[in-house]
Amino acid sequence: MDIATVVGILSSFGLVAAAIAMGSGLELFINLPSLMIVVGGTLGATMINYPLKEVLGVFKIVQNALLVKTVGVRELITRFVELANKARREGILSLESEMEGLKDEFFQKGLQLSIDGLEPEQIREIMETELDFVRNRHQLGAEVFTTMGTFAPAMGMIGTLIGLVQMLQSMDDPSSIGPSMAVALLTTFYGSLLANIVCMPIAGKLRTRSKEETLAKEMTIQGVISLSKGENPRVLEQKLLAFLPVKQR
């Protein structure tokens, strides 16, 4: 779980909670029917929108995006240089024994293709097809969360309208008007919170993550192809460094 996400979630939710606590008890802001309408309604509209399998799959993607650390690009380069050195000394087949140590499936698969002796062009084609699927999956994830972030405030408004209509219909007791309206506004509050602190930032995170992962995977493709061509480890390093901004080289 990367630090920015932790800091972000803590500061957002923490500050909202702190601001509430300064003025009243937190329990004033908990209302089950409101929560049902916003969360349930948003999920419902999303489920009409996307196939069930994809909605469920999205949560897995989010979990990965928030918890799994991306492979550092520097480590990736170091790893490839080691492999290239070993391949130079002992032949490409010797990399077979290194497969175990790789945690990244995509890397593993590319290396396997290389050891199997496929042509560099075939390796590139196979790996880029897979990269496309990964990218599409991330884009779909960001899209689902953007959709949810659009439905959530609408559901909040629907809930508030329900509360207002009910309150306006029975205004016999003036003292109950305030609290009734407070409860009605909670739904808008939930909708706004769900959209702006949960859905939209996560959609942004998935887009950012997709860019990082695409970069790492493109470097992996380049590295595997260099390996399979038996290029000099220094040349391989230079080619991979070209993917990084100047200051990070």
Binders of its own copies in range 21-40 (CB under 8 A): 22-24, 28-29, 33-34, 36-37, 40
Q: How many residues bind its own copies (CB under 8 A)?
A: 85
Which listed residue (83, 186, 221, 236) binds its own copies by CB under 8 A?
Answer: 186
Distances from the Cα of 161 to the Cα of 34, 158, 173, 184, angstroms: 11, 5, 20, 7
Q: Please say which residue, 92 or 220, places its beta carbon nearer to its own copies.
A: 220
The nearest distance, CB 118 to its own copies, in angstroms, is 15
- Rounded Cα distance, 163 and 151, in Å: 19
Contacting range for its own copies; rule: CB under 8 A; set: 8-16, 90-98, 224-232, 233-241:
8-16
- For residues 134 and 217, the answer to whether their CB atoms sit within 8 Å is yes
* Least distance in angstroms from the C-beta of 22 to its own copies: 5
For residue 242, what is the DSSP state?
T
Q: How many other C-beta atoms are found inside a 10 Å radius of the C-beta of residue 213? A: 19
31 or 226, CB closer to its own copies?
A: 31
Nearer to its own copies, 51 or 89 (CB): 51
Chain mean position to CA 66? 6
Which residue's structure tokens are 């959709």?
A: 147
Q: What is the 3-state secondary structure (H, E, C) of 36-86?
A: HHHHHHHHHHHHHHCCHHHHHHHHHHHHHHHHCCCCCHHHHHHHHHHHHHH
| Interactions with its own copies, residue window 124-163 (CB under 8 A) | 129-130, 133, 137, 147, 150-151, 154-155, 157-159, 161-163
Among 69, 89, 169, 173, binds its own copies (CB under 8 A): 169
- Identity of the residue, 20 or 81, whose beta carbon is nearer to its own copies in the bound complex: 20
Residue 182 found at the interface with its own copies (CB under 8 A):
yes
Q: By the 8 A CB rule, do 92 and 230 touch?
A: yes
Query: Can you tell me which of 72, 168, 230, 234 binds its own copies, judged by CB under 8 A?
Result: 168
Query: With respect to its own copies, which residue has the nearer C-beta, 120 or 204?
Result: 204
Output 68 or 165, the one with its CB closest to its own copies: 165
Residue of 24, 30, 20, 36 whose CA lies nearest to 162: 36
Helix/strand/coil for 198: helix
Annotate each residue in 189-228 with x if it binds its own copies (CB under 8 A) or - if it does not, as one string: x--xx-xxx--xxx-xx--x---x----------------
Interaction with its own copies in 39-78: which residues (CB under 8 A)? 40-41, 43-52, 55
Contact 71, 216 (CB under 8 A): yes
